[in-house]
Chains A and B, each alone.
Chain A
Amino acid sequence: MESLAHTTFWFVSGRELFLFLHLLGLACFLFILSRRLRPLLAAQRDFRFDHPLLRLGRVLEYWLGQWRHPRFRYAGAMHILIFAGFLILASHAFALLGLGISDRFATAESALYGAIRQYAATVVFLCMILAAVRRLVLRPARYPRSADAIFLLGLIALLMAADGFFEGSQAATHGNLLATFSLAWFVGKGLAAASFAHLRNIHLGAYLTHEVTFFFLLCYRPFGIQFHVETSLFSIYFAKLQRGTIKPVRWGVPEDRLDGLASFGVKQFEDFTWKHILDFYSCADCGRCAELCPANAVGRALSPRALTIKARDYVFRRYPVFGPSRDGVPLVGGLFSEDEIWSCTTCGSCEAECPLLVEYIDKIVDLRRGLVDDGKAPQSLHKPLKALESRGNPFGKMEKKRADWAQGTVPVVNGAVVRTLYFVDSITSYDDRMQSIGRAVARILGRMEENFAMLGARERDSGHDVRRFGEETLFLALRDHNTEAIRASGASRIVTADPHAFNALKHDYKDMPPVEHISQVVARAVRTGQIRLKPADGSVYTYHDPCYLGRHNGIYEDPREAMDAIPGLRRVEMERSRDRSFCCGGGGLAQFYEAKERERMGLRRVRMAAEAGANVMVTACPFCMANIEDAIKVAGLEGRMTAIDLAELVDRQMETADSGAGN
């Protein structure tokens, strides 16, 4: 066949035409890209250039390896196929473009590659059709009716079809069909009877279609969800490395200089960091985050994907590709509602699901920081925050009574060096239901002959949720107070039964001795035989993964191991477990915020346990306990479902010298 580069199109040669089109397309794309970069340059700094090898490893895992995708089976499988197809076809696409300019791009490719890429194109084409059918006919809830999505599916299908016709017409001309049953093969078969002139026209037409569609897509993608094709590599490379942490108020501003800042948090759009804006670009609107978000499930105003898409539309409007920047509406009160921002329990389900590693918690905390700075903390939080400031606990109880729960049975740090510090935190210290968790932990540690003590009245709230609700200054005050007390105790390790305290000590506090959750201590003790557990009763148990023990810190197996070490214990898993555990409703300050919702998260969770066939819910967090026990009553399951803390369970089942065999 005559080379494309030398064909004459109207008055110009192929080479001239296609070179012009390539350069035009590329120029448009680069122009659009530069415009899309503008808000990133106006945004706040974000330190994401550390640990390049680690980041590259994650790119291999999440970008190349599509590691998150199979969490949703069908969509995940399709996407993997499409992505693989794109990678396979990438070099071919460039070769195809090159063909228009110079015949040198017509180098012979191996038959194998040729076949592979034609099958890849076929698979992609079929996936486009399947995806369109799924969206239009099956309509999964997390896909909104989006003409844009169908349009894009159509364009990619067109691209594949154009390629198919290009190949097919060529094959029909030369009579060498490859890749049986591929798209190109079908086309070739179909065109077998066509005249050479006809084939020639189809060939050129397909090429032009491919050319135009390719560049159209290239320039169209940055205007919608498909931008993730370009940005995903970067959003994954620059993604946050450490779970459970919160970004500093301002990167590059050390804590002792925070007082000098004019404003805290995100109040206007440019207060976001460039990585956050990149996240807005990268969202593919797949809806996985919203599907898993417990706040969304119970009808709260929050939907993570909506947050991102609204922000993305906002940045597109405010920094349009064509035209000057426009003024924006205020973020909270305009784009987002206050209830939306306060509804988040920071459970992390969204971040655990997102295939593009889009971050949510930092953004919400930053928005909250902005609200708090402007005096807009919700009314129901004023009292607990004031109490935290003056009494070191959100209940307003007296500091000197913080250790009263132990009734003298737990040693308090008093000058002698202690090996293990038991960090109790506020709810376990003051809530009379949760105090029994504290006593159980103390008994467990006692029987393990730990040299342990607690800070007693010197302990203040860990401040974990004070930080996550945007009151950074108060958090720092609490943290500094506790840090000093912990250092003064001389403890070389810390144990806690409160996952929020655990997370705070591990990630928010600096230079702490190693911290463990009681479930880790028990699991190890059970493995080494240090503690023995009596046989279980006949109940059916299920373990509810607390968000800050499970998702944020990856501790899933230790609590299960501890439970399974109870001989004869019947344990079932709820449908949503481990990193898909369904948040109980939130802890810390979330207990005081009343979001507008259809029903309580805890109620949903209790029903899940009942559905799994359990009649005892085991949890390892006092906030989970509070929410779940409440929900059991509301669900009308009192007497049929109970809740017990892991420490209470282990304490109950622990064999002591005086507990005879088989009780």
Chain B
Amino acid sequence: MEILVCVKRVPDTSENEIQLNAAGTDIERDDLVYAVNEPDNYAVEEALQIVSRTGGNVTVVTVGGEEDEEVLRREMAMGAQHAVLISDDAFRESDGRGIAALFKEFVEAGHYDLILTGVQADDGCAQVGGMLAAMLDYPFASLVTAIEVVDSGTLKIAREIEGGCKEIHAIDLPCVLSIQTGINEPRYVGMRGIRQVASVPIPQLSAPDLALALAFAGKNNARVVRTDYFVPPAGKGAEILAGSREEVIEKLLDLLKTKGGLN
């Protein structure tokens, strides 16, 4: 089975370091460390496990610049056989639709039985997978937590839905699936592994290779544009609720309702 996994390099937000920069135009990126988007990593692990059973190859692809090569290398160190970087100034600041269009053209130039993405990335949009599927006219499923290969044309998948329940579907190949974290236990990739793929050349595709996508990619074709980042006003430290227990409970209930704490 030939599997393509779309990955993204994102800031590592484990320690709440996302802050507005001094100018208020973007987040402060100086001290950020970047890593592969966690759900994408689960997707690559899932792809590797599938091909270890069925045979085939795993290809990882990303849209970005030179700095994004490191996540491709990391996934190669994990076991992906091929990696491709889609990079061109014309592709900068594409919106989700633009990214999906780039991937779509790349997919159509090759042959892939299964395309995986992570369920969502740093912007929380969770859109590229579904868009890509619709552009390719492939069936799609999101929040996938289990994949079983039934035969060369069908998969059985589980989707995560509310309350810890799972939806089981049969889906035809080729298809696009967006993968939820926890689907497997990704293998560890150590410094040594990454060093060993440090000098493997990674092919790069640019505007002439993906000309049809140019109508969708790039800043000027973006239909959804982020205009700024901001921090909603928040208090410092806890607001200690004062009063009798009944009064406190009343205030708390109000707050819980607005914050979505009562179901």
Contact = CB atoms under 8 A, between A and B. Distances in A.
Contacts, number: 55
Contacts of B31: 398-400
Nearest to A375: B187
A379 B185 contact: yes
Nearest to A471: B190
Contacts of A318: none
Contacts of B149: none
Contacts of B17: 398
A430 B187 CA distance: 28
A225 to B, nearest CB: 37
Interface in B117-166: none
Contacts of B116: none
B187 A473 contact: no
Contact of A398 (B15, B78, B186): B15
Nearest to B188: A377
Interface string A363-392: 000000000111111010111011101110
A457 to B, nearest CB: 11
Interface string A453-496: 00000000000000000011110010000000000000000000
B33 interface: yes
B191 A473 contact: yes
B196 interface: yes
B188 A259 contact: no
A436 to B, nearest CB: 21
Nearest to A388: B191
A383 B191 contact: no
B127 to A, nearest CB: 27
Interface string B157-191: 00000000000000000000000000001111111
A375 B189 contact: yes
B84 interface: no
A259 B195 contact: yes
Contacts of A395: 15
A166 interface: no
Interface in A181-201: none
A373 B189 CA distance: 8
Nearest to B30: A400
Contacts of B35: 386, 390
Given A259-B196, A390-B33, A390-B35, A396 B191 contact: no
A382 B186 contact: yes
Interface in A329-386: 372-377, 379, 381-383, 385-386
Given A259-B195, A400-B31, A473-B195, A372 B190 contact: yes
A396 B32 CA distance: 11
Most buried by A among B15, B31, B187, B192: B192
A275 to B, nearest CB: 25
B244 interface: no
A474 B190 contact: yes
A370 to B, nearest CB: 12
Contacts of A374: 187
A234 to B, nearest CB: 34
B15 A473 contact: no
Interface in B195-236: 195-196
Given A396-B12, A396-B15, A373 B78 contact: no
Given A391-B33, A396-B15, A375 B191 contact: no
B258 interface: no
Nearest to B79: A375
A592 to B, nearest CB: 13
Interface of B: 12, 14-15, 17, 31, 33, 35, 78, 185-193, 195-196
14 contacts: A264-B192, A375-B190, A376-B187, A376-B188, A379-B185, A382-B186, A382-B188, A385-B188, A385-B190, A396-B12, A396-B15, A473-B192, A473-B195, A474-B191
9 nearest interchain CB pairs? A375-B187, A377-B188, A390-B33, A473-B191, A473-B192, A396-B14, A396-B15, A375-B188, A474-B191
